[in-house]
Chains A and B, each alone.
Chain A
Amino acid sequence: MAWNLLLRAVWRERCRRVVSTQPGASARHIVEGGAPPVLEVSGLTKTYTIGRFGKAQVVRALTDVDLTIQKGEVLGLVGESGSGKTTFARTVALLERPTAGHIRLLGQAVPPRLTQKRLREHRSHVQMIFQDPYTSLDPLHTVRYSVSRPLRTFKVVPKNAEGATVDKLFTQVGLVPPQDFLRRYPYQLSGGQRQRVGVARALAARPELLLADEPTSMLDVSIRLSIMNLLLDLQKAESLSLLFVTHDLAGASYMSDRVAIMYAGHLVELGPSESVMGGPRHPYTQLLRGAAPDPASHFGASKRFEARGDPPDLTSLPSGCPFAPRCPSARRECSDSLPEWRQVGPGHRVRCVLY
């Protein structure tokens, strides 16, 4: 009986959430030609339980995240370490099971529990590029093996076309001539080359959506830009959708059509790249923007950078806006409840009471 009531309450809550996200959905983005967005996420929540029974604590890694990615769009997801940006990418790739919320891929709802077959289908559409090119490739296999695996798993091409396809992928990611690289093991490649193999492997599945989780942060300066350019070229050529997860504001503004700012598992600001970077509205975005090295703004007047406090403990999030304890313009109402999304410009939304 009690269970029944509980389930009903959970169900009602979910319905409420879905309904509450609907009005935002229309204003959120211009839907072109009626084609469904590649990815539509609503109310995505992910919690982890840590500690032993009795002393268990709940880590709220993602709280109620709504996000849409259109076909051929590059969306930058920016946040500090521990903000949940990687968890978001991993959850979308279903490497983690969402605790609550809905994921729609190419207009189709992704059920919370999937058969192995359905999961494989999901992953053939959504591929991930990992942060660390040193640990994300199997050291015991040649890179040719790593890249050809998805071709078999997702039955992309018939077996006799495998060799030619791998060659083409290597060429696409700039590992030319392919025969110089195919038989190498990851340890025989430089960091940038390994990351290119990682990109080739992700492309092999012919995905609609590429999730790049800080693909450049482990690389040297000289290679960073070339990997970013490679991703942009591929994204344009194949009209892929790309989620670019990063803590580097400059990189995000270089790559992305739209930028989403994440703090403590919450999305706080979302909008076109130029408008978010040019006029950040949320105090947290302003903090990030002020922290980014920017010689041009420095030379005029000496500005002081003030950052109070640290990101909150995800096991005991403050009530209301998670940024309120650090926010220079916090008011009493900020800690009462989470602010609603407010429209501050074309396609530019912010979750802050100031607007």
Chain B
Amino acid sequence: MLVPLLEVRDLRVGYGWDEVNVTEIVRGVNLRVGAGEVVGLAGESGCGKSTLAFAAAGLLEAPGRIMSGEVLYEGTNLMGLSRDKLRALHLAEISMVFQASMNVLNPVARIRQQFRDAMRAHGINSADESLARAREMFERVQLPARFLDAYPHQLSGGMRQRAVIAMALALRPKLLFLDEPTTALDVVVQRSIVQMLSDLREDFGFGVVFITHDLSLLVEIADRVLIMYAGKIVEEAPARGLYESPQHPYTRALMSAFPPVGAVRTRLEGLSGQPPDLRQLPAGCAFAARCPKVIAGTCDAIAPPEVSSGEGRRVACHLYGHAAFGAPQGDRLERSGDGLEPPAEGGLEGKVSAGG
């Protein structure tokens, strides 16, 4: 069996300054990313998706603390690595692009200088070489090279995000975390950046963890989608499967929160209520209080086990108990290998036939 690019095993992350008063934000998450695969992670604000990404990328700082679990990058446990080793790994192997690119760039340094600093931290000391790389990357992200001499405030939001992506990919990392990279942008800019990222991915072949709350965008671009609620993965499925038959009531609610474009106008109810307070989680399923299909006596008492619920799918909900599905169908890990197929071959059609 191939070693996955990234494997997160039963990860628990919390925030707190001492061992006792820790609020658990990520509550036992399993996640795998194959080489070149696009994995989507969706959920409401505060569900722990960014915390999960920070922890998985080895970027978590105090008061955040990893309480248990493992993060394996190509089989190496990131948690056992020293700070220096992690630093060397970042940008070169694992990169991250955040929502607020303005906060990432240094406002008083030219883009060219910031590029050079990043390259120098990874052993590229020659100014010419770093400039050459910067030019090449700017071309790849469709930014005119003259903007290398610009300060961040001189660029528009979309251009800044492109510059950050250029920097993040300059050393050809194998894994890219995208934390709401297009949320603050206009639809047209968002679409062209997403298109550009998918072109770059085809050329460079990096794996992607794409975090967003925009499920309709995610379903379109990801191979596999994970839905997170109150620190747990409540559903995982191939994108098309998730779109066509969402299983967890939370997934359904989240999907109905996005009105479709151009469809007949019908009233949608979306999500009612609010996510639970992670400091005082209810017993049983965290979604029970908001769930339209809640089973009294079960959902509010027993935490739902995670069951395999179809090809490459898992769901944590009492509606999909063991009785309904019998033994887990197929091996989830085998199935997730689907995303490992080169996207060039057959592209979508390939995926579609595999899914159907």
Footprint of B on A, CB under 8 Å? 80-81, 190, 220-222, 224-226, 228-229, 232, 247-251, 253-254, 273-274, 277-278, 287-296, 298-299, 301-302, 304-305, 307, 310
Contacts and interface: CB of A to CB of B under 8 A. Distances in A.
A254 B352 CA distance: 29
A299 B190 contact: no
7 contacts: A80-B188, A221-B214, A249-B261, A251-B259, A292-B187, A292-B261, A299-B352
Nearest to B43: A221
B279 interface: no
B187 A288 contact: yes
A247 B187 contact: yes
A119 to B, nearest CB: 33
Give chain B's interface residue range (CB within 8 Å of chain A).
Answer: 35 or more
Given A225-B270, A305-B192, A250 B261 contact: yes
A273 B261 CA distance: 10
Nearest to A298: B220
Interface of B: 44-45, 156, 186-192, 195, 213-217, 219-220, 239-240, 243, 254, 256-265, 267-272, 274-275, 347-348, 352
A222 B271 contact: yes
Nearest to B199: A304
Contact of B262 (A80, A222, A289, A299): A289
B270 A295 contact: no
Contact of A290 (B191, B213, B256): B191
B187 A225 contact: no
B261 A222 contact: no
Nearest to B195: A305
Given A225-B270, A293-B220, A304 B195 contact: yes
Given A293-B216, A295-B243, A225 B259 contact: yes
A253 B259 contact: yes
A221 B195 contact: no
A255 B269 CA distance: 13
Nearest to B214: A293
Contacts of A232: 267
B189 to A, nearest CB: 8
A299 B348 contact: yes
A277 B263 CA distance: 8
A251 B195 CA distance: 22
